[in-house]
Amino acid sequence: MLMAAACQFAMAQDVVLVVSRKCSVSSLTQEQVADIFLGKTSTFPNGASVIPIDQQEGTGEREAFYHHFIGKTEAQVRTYWSKIVFTGKGYPPIEVVPPERVKRVIRDNPNYIGYIKRRDVDASVKVVVVLHP
C-alpha cells in the first residue's frame, strides 16, 4: 500500500529524482532526500557517498523539486544556505546547467543524485522512488 501511495505521489509530480543506473539506491524517504539536498548528510542510507545536483535557479524543475520534495520556497532555501555557507558549515548542491546535462552527469556517476522532468526520464537513469512519510 505504501508503494502504491509512493508511486501515486511520484506520479503526481512533474519532476522525479534520478540516479545513475549504477547506483544501488532505488528508493529514499522524503526525509532522506531533504537531508541530502540540504547538506545534512553526505551519504546514502547504504553508506555510499552522495552528491546532490541542483538545477539552475529559476528553472521550473528546481522550483518544483524544492516545493514538492523539500517543502521550501527558493527564498527559504536561500536563507537556509546563507547561514550555513556564512558560518562555513556547509556548501549547497552543485549547480548543473543546462537541464539536459543533468541526465548526462548523473548517468556517469553512481554518487550523483538529481532531479529532472518526468518526461525526460529515459533508460540512462533510474528513477528514485520517494516514499512519502
Partner 1 sequence: MRHASSIHKLASRAQEPYVLFPAFAVLLLIVIWVGCLYVIRVEQAAAEKKASDSAIDLVETYEAQMIRNLGRIDQALGTVKYAYETSHSPGTLTILKERRLLPPSILFTIAIYDQHGNPVGGTSAAPLAPISGQPYFRNHLAADVPGPTVQRVNLADGKIKLLFSRRLNGENGKFLGVAQISVDPAYFTSGYEMARLGKRGVLGLLDKDGIFLVRQTGDTVSVGGHAHPPSEASRLEKTSIVLETHEWDGEQRYAGVRPLFGFPLSVLVGLSKTEQFDEFHASERAYFYWAMLASFILVAMAAILSRYAWQLSETRRRTRKDQETFYAASEASMDAMFVLRSVFDGGGHIVDFTLESANNRAAGLFRIPKEAIIGRKVGDMLPQVHENGIFKDLVDVSTTGEAREHEWKNDLPMLRAAWLHRQVVAVEDGVIVILRDISERKRAEARIVHMAHHDALTGLPNRSLLEDRIQQAILVSQRSGQSVMVAFMDLDNFKFINDCLGHAAGDELLKAVAKRIQKNLRQTDTIVRLGGDEFVIVLSSQQEHSDALAATFSKIRAAISEPLFLAENKIEVTASMGVAVYPNDGMDSGTLLMHADAAMYQAKALGRNNCQFFTPEINGRIREKMALQDGLRVALGREEFTLMYQPQVDIRLGRIVGVEALIRWRHPLRGMVSSHDFIALAEETGLIGPIGEWVLHTACRQNKAWQDAGLPAITIAVNVSPRQFKDNSLLAHVERALKETGLEARHLCIEVTESMLMQNPARAIATMEALQAMGVTLSIDDFGTGYSNLSALKSFPISTLKIDQSFIGGLPSSEDDCAIAKTIIALGRQMNMRILAEGIETTGQLAFLRENGCNEGQGFLLCPPSPPRRLRTC
Binding site residues, partner 1, CB under 8 A: 54, 56-59, 77-79, 81-83, 85-88, 91-92, 94-95, 97
Quick one: 74 or 122, whose CB is closer to partner 1?
Answer: 74
Q: How far is the CB of 13 from partner 1 (least distance, A)?
A: 22
Q: How far is the CB of 32 from partner 1 (least distance, A)?
A: 21
- Dihedral of alpha carbons 96, 100, 102, 108, sign: negative
Q: How far is the CB of 44 from partner 1 (least distance, A)?
A: 21
Collect all residues with Cβ–Cβ distance below 8 Å to 74 and sequence separation of at least 6.
57, 62, 63, 66
Count CB atoms within 10 A of the CB of residue 90: 14
Quick one: 31 or 95, whose CB is closer to partner 1?
Answer: 95
Partners of 51 in beta bridges: 112
Q: How far is the CB of 65 from partner 1 (least distance, A)?
A: 14
C-alpha cell at 46: 547504504
Quick one: 51 or 127, whose CB is closer to partner 1?
Answer: 51
Q: Rounded distance, CA 32 to CA 28, Å?
A: 6
